[in-house]
Amino acid sequence: MTTQLLAFILYFVAVLGIGLFFFFKSKDSGEKDFFLGGRSMGPWVTALSAQASDMSGWLLMGFPGSILAFGMGQVWIGIGLALGTAANWIFVARRLRKFSQAENDSITLHHYLSNRFLTKSPALQIICAVVFLIFFTIYVASSFVAGQKVFIQVVPQLAENPNLALLIFATIIIVYTFLGGFKAVCWTDFFQGLMMLAALLAVPFMMLSIQELDFSVFEAVEGGVNPLDPFAASWQDVVSGLAWGLGYFGMPHIIVRFMSTKNSKVLKKSATIGIVWVVLSLGAAIAMAILGRAFAPTQALVEAGQQELVFVTLAQKLFPGFVAGLLLSAIVAAAMSTADSQLLVASSSFTSDIYKPIFRKNASDKEILWVGRLVVLVIAVIAYFIASSKSEGAATIMTLVDNAWGGFGSAFGPVIILSLFWKRFTYKGAIAGVVGGAVVDVLWMNFLTESTGVYELLPGFIAGFIFAVVVSLIDKKPSKEVEKLYDLAVSAEIE
């Protein structure tokens, strides 16, 4: 056994240990504890679990790989994400925590949206749950692909059977999510967030200390344009990159962290921690990709179309075996921290918004708990088949994340913002916003993204916002009870 593989094994033993610990500690608890941790999360766990579940294996593979292959225009994605993260923590986090508590202690995003309008109609919950299940399955598949690629690098024998690597990775995620629920997910994400940051900072620092960088590449010009010139980015790169930031307002697996804190005051400290983490992580990923252009082994990756392995290659070239194993575990940590959160949110969505209100209104907490665990398994199995398919899109982490991020941001971003800041917003407006945003996003992605060069999230978000506002203005005003609930949520009474 190599020292690199030993580090990998020790990491997974620790992760599974956390899942088992919370399974035995909370085996008699109900759905609120399983899906929201009993609203007991502190500032550090809230911040790092939110950001770790946000970035996924995309941060260490897809993002630097795209910069390495396509140039500095891709850096605008990082700028958009940093701005979106800050805006989400500053404007949405505390307000959503207060609203979710004021509105019948909501435990899921669409549960919150229905309670926001004091409606008994399940229409919005069902629509949201369906959108969740579709896009979360795609998102989980992207994490599976990232984990599979790292497993093959650590255990080269798995290259002959890549589906086995995929199966091992998926099984580990399923086990600790299935057993431990939200607390296990948050605590594993907390440690994985620390690992991701340490790994991202370590690699570019080590690269700067070696003598094998060929900086003449920074003067190279391809087709009259230097791919490393940040000012050479097209307007499509800038607009699409900044549009990525809009996605944060509609990411259920991220904003559910805001609802899980002890109180809204905790989020002030969490915001600082989360924003600093994102800026450091994205900055380090960008630096790693830029320096990678001046390092011969990573230049070869681009020629072979394997630019997503830039972090893997650098870790193995620059660090001794055991340390490299820990660094590669950070990629797996990134993929796992996103997949587990998405599995859990999709599961809570189905059980709370479809199974209980439609099929089993009198279902016990224990029954809901086990149905939720079964849904975790089903979604993971579907994601496995997507990730193991032979299509070009399924093999590309960046493509899968593009699709899921755009779908969530378009469908839920405008609706969340309006629900928190517009008293006149109505239930029918919310339905129109979710459906309109999702439909425009999918249509643009399939027919216009390639020809226009504009990321589908932007037109989808704008369309969702317009649909929500127009339908709300046409609809009759919210009842006095709904307006009173809004006033209570924004008051100082709720913390």
N-terminal to C-terminal alpha carbon distance within the chain: 52
pLDDT digits (tens, 9 = 90+) for 355-390: 877 777 788 777 887 888 788 888 888 888 888 876
Enumerate domains of the chain plus CATH numbers. 3-395 (1.20.1730.10)
**What pLDDT, on the 0 to 100 scale, is given for residue 79?**
94
Dihedral sign for Cα 479, 484, 489, 494, please. Answer: negative
pTM of the model: 0.86
**261 three-class SS:** strand
CB 144 within 8 A of CB 169: yes
For every residue of 188-251, DSSP letters joined together read HHHHHHHHHHHHHHHHHHHHHHSS-B-GGGGG--BTTB-TT-GGG--HHHHHHHHHGGGGGGG-
- pLDDT under 70 in the chain at which residues? 1, 19, 22-41, 53, 56, 105, 107, 176-186, 188, 211, 217-232, 262, 264, 333-334, 337, 390-396, 492-495
Strand partners for 225: 222
Cα–Cα distance for residue pair 204/414, rounded to 1 Å: 37
Cα–Cα distance for residue pair 199/285, rounded to 1 Å: 10
pLDDT digits (tens, 9 = 90+) for 7-65: 888 887 887 777 677 666 655 555 555 445 445 567 887 788 778 767 767 788 889 98
**To which residue do tokens 């699709």 refer?**
403
Which tokens hold the place of 223?
């087709």
**What pLDDT, on the 0 to 100 scale, is given for residue 471?**
98
**73 three-class SS:** helix
CB 337 within 8 A of CB 199: no
pLDDT digits (tens, 9 = 90+) for 310-339: 888 888 888 988 888 888 887 776 677 677
Cα–Cα distance for residue pair 495/489, rounded to 1 Å: 9
